[in-house]
Chains A and B, each alone.
Chain A
């Protein structure tokens, strides 16, 4: 099984250095993109490969790039922003990619920047990722030294520099427009789309925001072609994906697997199944802001389409497993506390609604639940839907709650009926 993203990484946690990366064929894709291919051909190739955004939304990356206005009268400068603000609960895949193989990301950014004609790149990095920052800065210096960044890259006439911006640390900074506002030095509040960042992004200029993992896929596509990339996958969407599992499984971790790998295979073969004495009850397939899947979904292939059809989202592909000795209400309360805290406060439903949800769940957990609280929670789920709120934060926050009410409704009702959390010691 090919593991293009993680195959070169060292088990002892050392990063892949510049020379090592070069020896493994690194920067060949960048060279090809800079000197042999038209920018539009790069975009077409990536589009054809079917690379879908790995940050959670799953939008075709090449298609996203194609919306950037090009041509002589197109606005300049243009920007490429790498979203490395990884704040999704349960998600740590981008960290692995940056820490383990920073040049892979840099090369991906060079190719992407070439495709959209961006002369400046930013890596918007989660504040807590200190090691990532260090390694990334070292790698950027190496790349610059070797002529892969700066002016006239490898004699191609193309200029690119990449800056690392360490975020102040808000979940909202991971939303692409909130990220752009934060990068401009403003409040991390989202922007209303349209206009999309490709038209009016960073400082009002055409901008593409891509996730770390997305960009890391790009060099491999350019090097090996779309067909190869499609062939990596066991499903409709191309490529491999980093899948993770956390919770009471035997071997929590992160694995690069073909897209379309069934959930059961990830859980049982890679995560080693449930820990002794714990029974599986459900999982959030792609981070905290996705809907629960339960037993009946375990044979689903982990790909964007099938997971969506099952009522959830592939999201970041890093699943959080709920076991029978953990209170589902408590788990959702924990998540909603996070989302309420991370609401930027721009729109009313998210700012006030999530805080209310948090308090309602807290009351259930404390044994103060009211009979009509469940209906009120359900109303919140409906009214925090897409379109009602300004951005996707609150709809995402509503997903685990809505599905928990669906699959674990009896547990919620027991909290009310017994006026206590049944999972807590009496």
Chain B
């Protein structure tokens, strides 16, 4: 359709859009506050006022709010209209009545939407001469700082927190010119998405507390497009560095992945980069009590080459938290047959099987697909803790059905409050079958909790209900059969069903069942169901794609003295292997080499430790659980001799005279990726920067460059070159033709806040201009339909004499290795507990908080009890990777409560 804006004619897509988003997409500067592209319109702030005219001849017009006005064909509007301009300036003047004008000391200053909009409207002279109202601020915990005096009452924070993220403890309180956004009492914000408030808030009410502890302005950061290393979803992030220290993480928009939001682990998990546990130089450790010997890097490489230059067999252990390139380089160094995964076998097996399953007749569901879904089955995965952005996306999916009904009743798609009034608390089909409950239970149409094998059996039964060719499951109760029927019916009736599962219950049959459901649906449907299989770490899928062998097999041969030298890439083996077994295996070695950025128990036993760059200090690739290979670009050069792990392997290779390891840039390593699916596309992962252009990492306002080190040296040294990408480590460089995805920080004249993103999208809320980055290398029908597995028998679960079934509880804050070392994450982590079903606790007289002694395979531990009413009777949940809590020697594990383990 056609609209007239200030005399200019534009062809636009109408399609239920509102005038504000259309004007922004057309590039007009129209100020706004309460509207947000992911949250639509409520019409509260009255900032986006424009003049609308009846027709060409109407000279009077009337003021309307652009966000609350649907675009119509042949409509006449004016942004420039004098009355509209004066009104918009007055709205800002009103908003500034009580604003403290403390920009110089406000963390938001320089990237503040309120600053931008104030300048945009032209309001500059204060006429209000009365006292400003003030508020008491709250302590909202370790992640968010609260400064309510700055608030302009746009209501975005509570709309995000409650409507999108399902939180309840942040509310709009009080009234008139004293509306307060906060909690009833001081206390840590409960939502695991609280960090988004920093970006959702248009000014400095909610600011990044960890950033404040080492504050720097946006324009003083060096940034690069990156990918979150803290779970398998591959959310896009923008890390920012100053003075060699990572200062903060911000969301980086990716239309198909994380969209506008991040979880708090992703946002605040970066502390490991500047941890005092960092390995900063090559070392020869000498046990726990003696300081390690420092090695000259060349000497260290010579030593490692020497270890390898003999007859004794060499083996390598790859890592699910290292880049694909580092894994590939190690695999090439030691040979594919001797390259093993530094991951517990069952989890690695899940990841390898997930690769096969996602190349079957099914599409991997991106997070965008999950947001668009209209029926959901979660099978076995505690998404809030293992893949939070998936949980956030599925909240949107749960709203889809009632939202569409409301839209069908005639309410415009952008009219958020009216849609929500119609939707009330209704949700579309959302079935959650998990070992224990989480926040998603509240929106689930059914939430059923059972041990993993039983979940798998229910899953297979759903697949059978969808398609008789899938094997039947016997021995289901009537109740289970009815549940299975409901789930199957809901999935079949949906347009875009998704099935989400994964590895976190450490039971391969669970994700297998999920895949069978998706396949069966695909045979019933023209569009197959989306399938998401969550894995534990950022590059779990990448490591699986390298064909890394299981760890246990290697440990056996190490113990048998069949391995001379072992090279361990970015893995703390103690996290994945029981201590005794690890000790026996390591004792069988001649030499141990550890390449990592963080000191740990495995490194202490090494002959040589080589300092690895973290993901922020190197360029590389992670393959997400969706099979999306994504490039993370180095943010800043690491100090000293630290370098990307693959560079150490290339150095060792050169030391050995190996021509096949002579890699100098990250893309060279991908030559070793030939056996990966669609390997040729791995070279095009980053945004394509034109040949004669360079993208600067620092904004043009970067300050103090010549003064930073002037107390030591007045010379200005050239910044290092980047061999991996057409980027500079300074403000030099200009890339006007590079796609938006190449730009680390969004900035546009007049738009200094994150809202500048509007200028980088094809249309507001749409994909980035110039295309999104990353390649999906796991594609439907690449590998045929994997053969079904035998449906597991769950009768062992019923044997209560064997003790309680141990379920794994992955904790968002604490279970992931890298983020666990970040101070704010440590602050947010719960004290590890032994979680018991109400009935089991009652039977044993155990109450919340009781110290409970328990044994698994004879290993004794003590934890405080927590009663989880959602846990099935006969099960307990134990935190994964809790300090001082070694993993059980074997899975599935049983646990006995009581001293000596005599009880059950």
Contact = CB atoms under 8 A, between A and B. Distances in A.
Among A199, A348, A356, A387, chain B packs the most CB atoms within 10 A around the CB of: A348
A107 B177 CA distance: 41
B46 A389 contact: yes
B176 A341 contact: yes
Contacts of A327: none
Interface stretch (A187-195, A218-226, A399-407): A187-195
Contacts of A383: 87, 90
Contact of B422 (A200, A363, A376): A200
B409 interface: yes
B47 interface: yes
A379 B644 CA distance: 63
A388 B63 contact: yes
A351 interface: yes
20 contacts: A191-B418, A194-B418, A195-B410, A204-B424, A340-B177, A344-B175, A345-B179, A347-B46, A348-B45, A348-B91, A348-B152, A349-B46, A349-B90, A349-B91, A351-B177, A353-B94, A359-B128, A383-B90, A388-B49, A390-B46
A355 B90 contact: no
B97 A345 contact: no
Interface in B144-196: 152-153, 155, 172, 174-179
Interface in A321-367: 340-349, 351-356, 359, 363
Nearest to B49: A388
A356 B46 contact: no
A270 interface: no
A235 B315 CA distance: 100
Among A191, A342, A345, chain B packs the most CB atoms within 10 A around the CB of: A345
B410 A348 contact: no
Contact of A356 (B47, B128, B406, B409): B128
B98 interface: yes
Interface string B383-413: 0000000000000000000000010011100
Nearest to A193: B418
Interface string A276-291: 0000000000000000
Contacts of A191: 417-418, 421
Contact of B418 (A192, A347, A348, A372): A192
Contact of A388 (B46, B152, B410, B424): B46
B127 interface: yes
Contacts of B130: 356, 359, 363
A255 B90 CA distance: 43
Contact of B175 (A203, A345, A356, A390): A345
A241 B635 CA distance: 75
B44 interface: yes
Contacts of A199: 409-410
A352 B45 CA distance: 11
A170 interface: yes
A163 B170 CA distance: 31
Nearest to B52: A387
A356 B43 CA distance: 21
Contacts of A349: 46, 90-91, 94
Interface size class of A (residues with CB under 8 A): 35 or more
Interface pairs A-B: 5 shortest CB-CB: A352-B94, A345-B179, A359-B130, A355-B177, A204-B422
Interface in A359-394: 359, 363, 370, 372, 376, 379, 383, 387-390
A379 B93 CA distance: 12
Among A194, A352, A389, chain B packs the most CB atoms within 10 A around the CB of: A352
A340 B90 CA distance: 18
A387 B63 contact: yes
Interface in A161-201: 170, 172, 187, 191-192, 194-195, 199-200
Among A200, A204, A372, chain B packs the most CB atoms within 10 A around the CB of: A204
Contacts of A387: 62-64
A348 B95 CA distance: 7
B153 A345 contact: yes
B503 interface: no
B415 interface: yes
A355 B176 contact: yes
Interface of B: 42-47, 49, 62-64, 68, 87, 90-91, 94-95, 97-98, 127-130, 152-153, 155, 172, 174-179, 406, 409-411, 415, 417-418, 421-424
B44 A347 contact: yes
A85 to B, nearest CB: 15
A170 B91 CA distance: 25
Interface of A: 170, 172, 187, 191-192, 194-195, 199-200, 203-204, 340-349, 351-356, 359, 363, 370, 372, 376, 379, 383, 387-390
Contacts of A351: 94, 153, 176-177, 179
Contact of A347 (B43, B172, B409): B43
B172 A187 contact: yes
B417 A192 contact: yes
Contact of B46 (A340, A342, A348): A348
Contacts of A376: 127
Given A351-B153, A387-B64, A345 B91 contact: no
Nearest to A342: B176
Given A352-B94, A387-B62, A387-B63, 11 more contacts: A191-B417, A192-B418, A204-B406, A204-B423, A204-B424, A344-B176, A348-B153, A359-B128, A383-B90, A388-B49, A390-B46
Given A340-B176, A341-B176, A204 B44 contact: no
Contact of A352 (B177, B406, B410, B421): B177
A281 B62 CA distance: 35
A97 B420 CA distance: 36
A345 B98 CA distance: 13
B421 A204 contact: yes
Nearest to B87: A383
B338 to A, nearest CB: 64
A343 B43 CA distance: 16
A356 to B, nearest CB: 6
A195 B418 contact: yes
Nearest to B172: A187
Contact of B98 (A172, A204, A352, A370): A352
A335 B128 CA distance: 20
A356 B153 CA distance: 16
Contacts of B87: 383, 388
B422 A356 contact: no
B177 A192 contact: no
B127 to A, nearest CB: 6
Contacts of A390: 43-44, 46
A352 B44 contact: no
Contacts of B62: 387
A259 B421 CA distance: 38
A347 B47 CA distance: 10
A23 B900 CA distance: 85
B66 to A, nearest CB: 13
A345 B179 CA distance: 6
A195 B95 CA distance: 28
A344 to B, nearest CB: 6
Nearest to A376: B127
B154 to A, nearest CB: 9
Contacts of B178: 345
Given A343-B175, A352-B97, A356-B94, A200 B418 contact: yes
Given A199-B409, A341-B176, A345-B179, A192 B415 contact: yes
A195 B68 CA distance: 12
Contacts of B44: 346-348, 390
Contacts of B177: 340, 343, 345, 351-352, 354-355
Contacts of A363: 130
A7 B128 CA distance: 53
A204 B411 CA distance: 12
B421 A347 contact: no
Given A387-B64, A388-B49, A348 B176 contact: no
A180 to B, nearest CB: 8
A363 B127 CA distance: 14
